[in-house]
Structure 1
Amino acid sequence: MSMYPSHFAEPVIQKDSQAASRNELAHIPIKAATNDSSDSIFFGVLQNKLVKYITKKGNRSLANELLTETFEIIKRTQIERYNLSKSDREKIIIDAEKLLINAIENSRPLLQLSAIKRGGVKYQVPIPLTEKKSYFLAMKWLLDAAREKDRKVKLPEKLAWEILDAACGQGRVIKKKDDLHRQCESNRAYAHYRWS
């Protein structure tokens, strides 16, 4: 892997900040942009990570297609709901990316149980999660819940339903998060073992 010297500037991906920085970086060498960085309307950090988690055996283009198909199914479902409902049209979110973000935010755990051995006994101690780990667990749980469903239904459809359920605050993933938080609450008496 090549390393850039410290005097190389970071690449500017957003078009808005590109025009402003063009004058400043006239003669400064710039690092190459990574393959997954983009300024398209479909790019997002969470979508990019979810594509990486969906990817199996290095087939990233297939994972991209699956996520795009999932978004299409979500959008069709939400438009159907929008057209059928007469009174609650303002509450229905049609944007699939916003629904994905809501689903991930709703299913993010705050605590996790960790086995710590003290005096020959293993205690399940609740430990707060880092932001990165909580996002990882939320996306992993969404994918696992989708993959556990009926094998006759394709992954995009199953994942779309899991995302819609999690965005509404219900479904398997939310239940799993609530169960984990309930276990952490019941084991909070052992929380002091974290520091000893």
Structure 2
Amino acid sequence: MARKFTASKTHLRPDPRYGSKLAGKFINCVMHNGKKSVAQRIFYDAMELIQKRLPNDEPVDVFTRAVENVKPIIEVRSKRVGGATYQVPMQVNKTRQQTLAIRWLLMAAREKKGRPMAVKLADELVAAFNREGIAITRRENVHRMAEANKAFAHFAW
């Protein structure tokens, strides 16, 4: 049976400037309507802004560390047991951790209004690098929900 989606991991190319597969994946997530050159310009402008703000750190390392800081370790999933729905805490696998981190970073950057996307993205990446900002708050909320519902952990099978 044919698959609905292709596995992006098999077709994913590293970005041209830094040679990072994570950066290539992030650029693809920034992209709208197939305009990859626009997404690349946004990402690389954000990297230049990060370089200016944190001159001692390599911008790709700041980006990678920001994504690592936002990755959730545990999340809650709804599980229906005997007519009741429980929020069951479960471990998050590596690919989903990365996907959620990228999604939350972009969502946090897009929520801010009134400035160019590259500036908003740089702000959010630096904030995540310093373990603060909207994306980190979201991660903490997910962990707090999992902690509050750990009484239902025995439903995770």
2:145 aligned with 1:183: yes
Q: How many residues align?
A: 148
Contact 2:12 2:25 in 1 (8 A): no
Provide the residue aligned with 1:22 in structure 2: none
1:133 CA drift (Å): 0.4
2:61 aligned with 1:98: yes
2:85 counterpart SS class = strand
1:38 CA drift (Å): 5.7
1:191 counterpart SS class = helix
2:79 counterpart SS class = strand
Provide the residue aligned with 2:156 in structure 1: 194
Match of residue 139, structure 1, among 78, 81, 102: 102
Match of residue 166, structure 1, among 124, 128, 144: 128
Which letter does structure 2 place at the counterpart of 1:109? P
Give me the TM-score of the superposition, normalised by structure 2.
0.88
Deviations, residues 29-76 of structure 1 (Å, cap 9, x unaligned): xxxxx9864696511011000001001111111111110111011111
Give me the TM-score of the superposition, normalised by structure 1.
0.71
Larger radius of gyration: 1
2:103 aligned with 1:127: no
List gaps (5 residues or longer) in structure 2. 1-9
Once superposed, what is the RMSD of the aligned Cα atoms? 1.8
1:94 CA drift (Å): 2.4
1:58 counterpart SS class = coil
Match of residue 155, structure 1, among 117, 126, 131: 117
Where is the helix percentage greater, Structure 1 or Structure 2? 2
1:179 CA drift (Å): 1.0
